[in-house]
Every structure is written in structure tokens, then in C-alpha cells.
Structure 1
Amino acid sequence: MNSRNIFSLALIGILALSAFTGCGNSGSSSSGKKAGSNVTVQIFQSKVEIVDQLEAMAKEYTELTGVKVEVLGASGDNYMDTLVGKLTSGQGPTIFNVSPGGRLERLHSYLYDLSGQPYISDIADNQALVYDGKILGVPYSVEGYGLIYNKKLVDPSRMTDFNSFRSYAASLKASGVDPVQMSDKAYFLVGHILNVPFAMQDNYLDYIAKLNKGEVKMAATPEFQEWARFMEVIRANTANPMGVTYDDQIANFATGKTAMIHQGNWVWGMFADYGVTFDMSIAPLPLMGNDKLSVGMPNAWCINKDRSQEEITEALKFFEWFFTSERGHHYIANEFNFIPALKSVPVSGLDPLSTVVHEYTRSGKTLPWTYRDWPEGLINTHILPTAQKFFSDTSMTGQRFLEELDKAWVEGAAK
């Protein structure tokens, strides 16, 4: 072979190698991006206060994987209306958020079954979004409530059951402070605290279904009977909550006029205006010796099962990174500032009330939020007026209160 032929072959080899190398780098850049899918993972969610952080996380994931993640949002009724419109037209987002109760009942047929995914076992007890035995969503975060108490005034070891609670409430009143203060809003007056006896039923969904039909009675159920006795004690030892606004409740606790309030970790930010210096914590309502807080998740991340298989696959990869990686955990705890519903997420810097809720959540000492499964609108239209009557009429016994609640419940459930 002559020198010209040798040179020609060598040149062809160099060109072929260059072409191959060029093809191999077509999905990369000098920044080290990986080649990604051609699909776009679209996230549509309603928590407007985390939009900026979520967009930053989406950008980081895209830079890491090459898969485009787009973040869209809306709030309130606009979110639900827009979401339903998109889903029914076949143009639904890849990932969206759904809350338990009525929204889950309405949207469950659109949700991808996540039951077999590797992060599901990391979800705290009772916090996954479940429908018909399938896990359809991973919780955003958790919130919890109970008896928030002033550590200077209250020793929770002195109220572990009904009798000790009753005697301790009387002693606190004798010392010049209100033992427990409620407020006049529907959930803060009765909705949240009524959750406890429901959550202590062996199968609260079955109990609610029977209660709707009048097949069981709160007035004949032991947990509710003792709950009514707790309500009698609260009414007898505290100011009438019908004249107490939410702001009043917070102010009275912050200034030491009230030893305890039945509230949740969300109130912490309201204490900043009062320069609170005392330590506080949360204790369970000790109904029949209960030692668990009522803890629930406001929303869950879900995947649209009607998207293409390629899009669902990319959404599942995003979820795995989000819920299992160090960076995903960082966003949950430090950027979104959520109380994690995933047990493996490390946390630091939570406020004192959120810290307590997190500890109860990780230990599994929680009661579910059952009111999400009560008949829609029942609390405001039927339960609240009955509770207002109970607190205004001191001659109404706890047992009579339950009988009135039973009647109101059946009426409300029938509408």
C-alpha cells in the first residue's frame, strides 16, 4: 500500500472517530448534564408559598438528569377547578396534589398506584394518601394538634386520664388561670377536638358510615361518652368560648392568662408579636388514657395515571430522587420548611411545636384526622350550632350534647 493510500485511510479513521465522539456527546454539555428524555414532567400544585423553592428544585433536577420539569400553580378554588378541567379534558399535569377526603373521593380514578415504590415504607404511620387499599400519594408534610401548654404553668404528667384532667383543671382555675381555652371558630371550638373519639374507633370509616345512617350512636359509644365529660370539664372551668376569637385565644395564652389551648403547631408564628419567653409544648387529650396527637397531612403528591408511560416513568424517577436523595430531603426540610412525613428526612431548626409533632409522627404515636371523611359541610352547618348551644347553655349535660350531635349528624348526612 502506498503512502497516499495509507494517509487516506488514516484520515477516514480520524473523521469516523470524531463523528462517533460527537454523537456520544450530543446529550451532554460542559456542565456535565446527562442526556434526558424528550418528555416534560409538569407539576401543578396549590401551595403558593413554595413555588420559588419548587422551581429551584426542578431546575436542579433538570441539570442533573436532562429531564425538563415544569412548575405551575394556583390556589384555593381556582386550583381545584383548573385541575379538574385539565384532567377531564385529557390534558392533566404529570404530577399534582390531592388532599384526603372529598377531593380524593373525586379524583382517585386519575391517580397512579404508588404502592410498590421504594419510598412508601418510609412514610410515617397513617400519613399516606390511601384509597381502596392503594397508596395513591406521598404526603407533602404533616401538621398536628392537641393541648398546647405553658411549661411554667402545666405539668402534663398530672393529666393522663379523665379523673386527673378534671382535678388538674380545677386546681389551675383555683390558681387564677384558665385551664383550657377554646375559640369560637368551628374547628377550634369542636371540629378538631371531636376528632379524637372518632380516631379511637377500631375502624373509623366504618363507624362514620354507620353513623351517617343512624345505625350507631355517639351517645351510646364509650369513647364519645367520656369525650362529653371532658367537654363538661372544659366548659365548667374556662371562659365561654363563644366570646373568644382565634386572636383572643392566642393572645391569652401568650400573655399567661391561659394555661392551655386546644390548637396546632401552625400557631407558632403568631406568638412572635407577643415576645413570648416561656417554653411550650403539646400534650394529647388524655381521652381514655390516650397518649397520641392528632396528626394529618394537608396534601399529597400524586402522579396522573392517564399520561403516557414514558411520562409516568420519568415522574416515578423524579419521585424517587425527591423522596430518597439527600438533595430531595434538603428541599423538604430546609427549603419548604415542612415537618417531614418521611421518617428518614433529617430535620433541624423546627420551632418547638413542630418539633413535638415531628417526634410523635416518627414514633407512630398519632391519631388520624377523621373529619376529612365526615359528610361535606357538616361541621359548619350542623355540628357547630350544636356545640354553640352546649357552651351557651350550662344546663345541657354532656350526654344530652351527644344526643343532639347524633340528631344533627344524621340530618346533615342526609343532605
Structure 2
Amino acid sequence: MKIKAIKAVAALSASFVLLTSVGANGAFAKSTTQATSSKKVTLNVFQFKAEIAKDFEAMAKDYHKAYPNVTVKVTTVGGGADYGAALKAEFAKGKGPDIFNNGGFQEAVTWKDKLEDLSKEPWVKNLYKGTEKPMTMNGKLYGMPMNTEGYGFIYNKDLFKKAGITTLPKSISELEAASKKLKAKGITAFSVGYAEWWILGIHLLNIPFAQQSNPDQFIKDVNSGKVKISDNKKFKEWVKLLDLTVKYGNKNPLTTDYNKQVTQFAKGEAAMMQQGNWTQTTIDGIKKNMKIGVLPMPINNDKAAMDKLPVGVPNNWVVNKNSANKAEAKKFLNWMVTSKTGQKYIVEKFKFIPALKTIKGTNLGPIADDIQKYSAAGKTLTWNWFKFPDGATNDFGASIQKYIAKQSSSTQMLKEFDATWKSKYKK
């Protein structure tokens, strides 16, 4: 998900993710899209998921074959690059892309004046309940959920077996014990890509927010100044998890980027990595049929509370309301989720867990399988970073990197989180 990463919904219930395994009547819907443009049109799509870049471009070519008057030009900015900054730069050049990505919640509010109302699009009625929340403002829907995703510690079952780990760790103490067993066998426990700010400032830091008794209320209280991150117990516990991954992780974590992190894991050079189902295609490209699963990311020893995975809507497709081609842009998005061709790309090539009931989501790989099992059991945590002040995640990531480099203490790092929030938050 990477940001790629990336992006969330408290109401992701057991029902809607479980249903993706069977689809609606187990069949592909037929496209209702009809090409009406009599002139040549170029749709500019600006998207962040580097994992799907080549396949998305291939899908765009297939769309052009079906509708020769429409050329879909795809630009991908991901893989560690700052998509948000790049998107702002695109709009600064002129009119901006026709289709782009938006994470919803606070990010939707930030970009609202650029977003087309999609409430009346034909696919809306087929969304799983809860997936519409990030992009709903004042009763109107401004984005189409890209998919649903989950993340945690992806683990190598063969390396766990080699280390004699027979019980999967569900608490911080058990995770440390497992890490020690791996080290005793000469196995690096974690492949950590801490050169990437988003791995730290988005996914990892989401854990203590998601573990609050009421994450939304906690964020409101931080906004109002009623509470401080630096005073919160869950964040102090979270530091122990961060320390654990560094202690038992690969050397030079601050120079290890996303690609190196995933490659190390896929080659069996580490037993675990903090990532999600978006890495499945990359792993498959390095090692086919790898025996892997997903573990929770515990910060204390309350097993019931810790045995959960963060699951949410990573991002949304949105249409630039000021685009001269917005009608064609909406047709393309509709084709992507209703045509047999588009649906096959979503499931078979992108390996997405669908956000629509009409798309059959099976054979997505072992990572998605575990995520769907956790979701079916109702053992999920919310994704909260889209509710943060604009730009805060980048600064959070930088503060964590500073701490890992031993240039600040844990107390100073948490206080920096407070300072970042206060400076970025706009009432």
C-alpha cells in the first residue's frame, strides 16, 4: 500500500471483506460504459501505486483498443516518492490530471475544490458498506475506493519453523521471544525499510492511534489540545515495538528502502517485514509460492487487543472537476470496475481485495487470505493517517528516523509529534 501507500475506515466489518471471497453471484458484471466521444481524447491519470504501474498501463492500452478515440496516459509516482507533493506540483503547472488519487477524510477536505461529485455513478450501489466513508462529505461521494488492504508483520513460515517457533506471537513479549529464537539460529528477524518516511510516519505510527479506545475521539482531543501524544500510554508502549524491530532488524535500516526491504524478505534474508498485501506481486516475482502469512503488530501484552490487523481503504480514484474530459474520465473508471477486462486486471494482475460486491476476489495470495480471515473474524484496526493534519506524516517519519539514528530520545520524539501536529493543524 504502500504509498503507494496507501489509505481507512473504522467500519470495515467482517461482512464486506468476507464477501469479496465469493463476489456477487460469482460472476463478472458486463460493462455499461459506452464511448460517446467523437473526438480524440487523452485522459491523464496520475497515480501512486508503483506495484501496479505496468499492469495499469497495459489495462489503459486495452481500454484504447475498446474505445480508439480515448488514450489513457498513466503517470505513476510511488515507490517511496512523495505522491502528495508531486500531485501539488502537477496542479501548479496548470489544470492538473483528469484522474488522480485521494486518501479521503482530511485529505478529501483539503482537495475538495478539485473533486467531482461521483454520487450518481452506477458502481456506487455496489460498494461494500463502510468503503464509502473516507470520500463522503455532506452526503456526497467524491471518490471510488481503489480496493481494500491490510498490513502487519508478513512472516516466512519456513524460517519460523527452522527457529522452532510453534506458536505465532500475539503480544510484545511473544514477539521478542520469537525474535530471540530467530537470532539464535542466525536468522535476521525483521527486514526494515526505515529509509522510507511513510513506512514509519504512516503505517507504523498508525498502530498507537488505532489502539486507542476511540481513535476518532483521540484525534479530536489532540486537535483541540485537550490531550498530548507525548502523555499517552499507547504511544509510550509503541516505542518498545519500534525498538524491537531495530534491535532484531537488518543492518543499516535508515539506508534500506522499500524495494530492498521486500527483496530481502522474499529472498529469505529476514523472517518478517512490516508490509501489506500490496507486496504480494513483488514477492511472487522474486519467489513463487513462498509460504508466508501475516501477524499483528503488538505494543503490549493484552493479546485480545493486540491480535488485530489494520485494514482499510488505501486510496480512492477521483476525477478532477475542472477537467474538460471529466465525462470520459468517469466512463473509464466505470469500465474499470464493471467490464470483464477491467475486473480481471483488478483481481488477477493488481491482486486487489475488491471494494465492490460485483467483483469476485479470489486467488489473491496468502497475505490477502490472512487479512480476509482477520476481517471475517472482526479482528481489525482502523487506518487513521488520513485524519492527520496535511503534511504531518512526513514530519512524523523524519522524527522517527532521527530517533532511530540516536539523535533524539523517545521522549523528545513524542514531543516532536505534538509540535508537528500543532504546527500543521488548521481549524
TM-score, normalised by the number of residues in structure 2: 0.66
Supply the distance in 1 between the matched residues of 2:394 and 2:37 (Cα, whole angstroms): 48
1:301 maps to 2:301 = no
One-letter amino acid of the counterpart of residue 197, structure 1: P
Q: Does the 8 Å CA contact 2:392/2:421 hold for their aligned counterparts?
A: no
Residue 194 of structure 1 and its aligned partner are, at CA, apart by 0.9
SS at match of 1:282: strand
Q: Give secondary structure in 1 for the equivalent of 2:207.
A: helix
Structure 1, residues 331-386: CA drift from partner, whole Å, max 9, x if none?
43246554433244124553443554566667775544433343344344454234
1:103 CA drift (Å)? 5.7
Q: Once structures 1 and 2 are overlaid, which stretch shifts more, 178-187 or 38-47?
A: 38-47
Question: Does 1:188 pair with 2:204?
Answer: no
Q: Distance in 1 between matches of 2:35 and 2:399?
A: 57
What is the one-letter code of the residue matched to 2:158?
K
Q: Is the 8 A contact 2:309 2:374 kept in 1?
A: yes
Equivalent residue for 1:179, pick from 180, 189, 193: 189
CA-based RMSD: 4.4
Q: Work out the CA distance in 1 between the residues paired with 2:218 and 2:404.
A: 24
Amino acid across the alignment from 1:108: K
Shift of the 341–184 alpha-carbon distance from structure 1 to 2, 3 Å rule, reads same
Please state how far the C-alpha of 1:149 moved relative to its aligned partner: 0.4
Distance 1:274 1:123 in 2: 33
| Secondary structure of the corresponding residue to residue 342 of structure 1 | coil
Deviation of 1:138 after TM superposition, in Å, equals 0.9
Q: Deviations over 1:172-224 (max 9, x none)?
A: 33343333342331233454211122234465455345435643222333432
Code of the aligned partner of 1:105? V
- For the Cα contact (< 8 Å) 1:152–1:279, is it kept in 2? yes
Cα distance in 2 for partners of 1:413, 1:352 equals: 39
Is the Cα contact below 8 Å between 2:191 and 2:250 reproduced in 1?
A: yes
Which of the residues 145, 154, 159 maps onto 1:148? 154
Q: Distance in 1 between matches of 2:45 and 2:135?
A: 19
Secondary structure in structure 1 of the residue aligned to 2:176: helix
Task: Give ranges in structure 1 of 5+ residues lacking alignment.
Answer: 1-33
Question: Do the aligned partners of 1:228 and 1:402 also contact (CA within 8 Å) in 2?
Answer: no
- Work out whether residues 147 and 263 of structure 1, in 8 Å CA contact, stay in contact via their aligned partners in 2: yes
Please say if residues 308 and 381 of structure 2, whose CA atoms lie closer than 8 Å, have aligned partners that are also in contact. Answer: yes
Q: In structure 2, how many angstroms separate the alpha carbons of the residues matched to 1:149 and 1:192?
A: 17
Q: Is 1:97 the counterpart of 2:93 in the alignment?
A: no
For residue 118 of structure 1, report the CA deviation from its aligned partner: 5.6
Query: Do residues 207 (structure 1) and 208 (structure 2) align?
Result: no
Map of 1:371 onto structure 2: 385
Residue-by-residue CA offset, 1:66-113 (whole Å, 9 max, x unaligned) = xx655344454776555576659xxx85xx223226763343234344
Please point out which of 57, 60, 77 is paired with 1:54: 60
Using the alignment, how far apart are the partners of 1:144 and 1:358 within structure 2? 9
* 2:17 matched residue in structure 1: none
**Number of residue equivalences:** 368
Measured at CA, do residues 187 and 98 of structure 1 come closer, stay the same or move farther in structure 2, by a change above 3 Å?
closer
State the partner residue of 1:345.
359
Aligned to 1:230: 241
> How many angstroms apart in 1 are the aligned matches of 2:323 and 2:285?
47
What residue identity is the alignment partner of 2:100? N
Q: Percent of aligned positions with the same letter in both sequences?
A: 26
Greater displacement, 70-79 / 209-218? 70-79
State the 1:301 CA deviation. Answer: 2.6
In the alignment, is residue 107 of structure 1 matched against residue 111 of structure 2?
yes
Question: How far apart are residue 261 of structure 1 and its match?
Answer: 1.5
Distance 2:42 2:377 in 1: 34
Higher relative contact order (CA 8 A, sep 6+): 2
Q: Flag the structure with larger Rg.
A: 1
Q: Identify if the C-alpha distance between structure 1 residues 377 and 59 changes in structure 2 by more than 3 Å, giving closer, same or farther.
A: same
Partners of 1:214 and 1:410 within 8 A in 2: no
> So what's the TM-score if we normalise by structure 1?
0.68
Q: Which residue of 1 aligns with 2:174?
A: 164
Instruction: Give, as a single letter, the amino acid of the residue that structure 2 aligns with 1:97.
Output: F
Partner AA of 1:45 in structure 2: V
Q: In the alignment, is the contact (CA less than 8 A) between 1:127 and 1:139 conserved in 2?
A: yes
Deviation at residue 151 of structure 1 after TM alignment: 0.5
Tell me the amino acid that sits aligned with residue 45 of structure 2.
Answer: Q
Gaps of 5+ in 2: 1-32, 48-52, 78-84
Structure 1 counterpart of 2:46, one-letter code: S
Q: 1:138 corresponds to which residue?
A: 144
**What secondary structure sits across from 1:184 in the alignment?**
coil
Q: Name the structure 2 match of 1:385.
A: 399
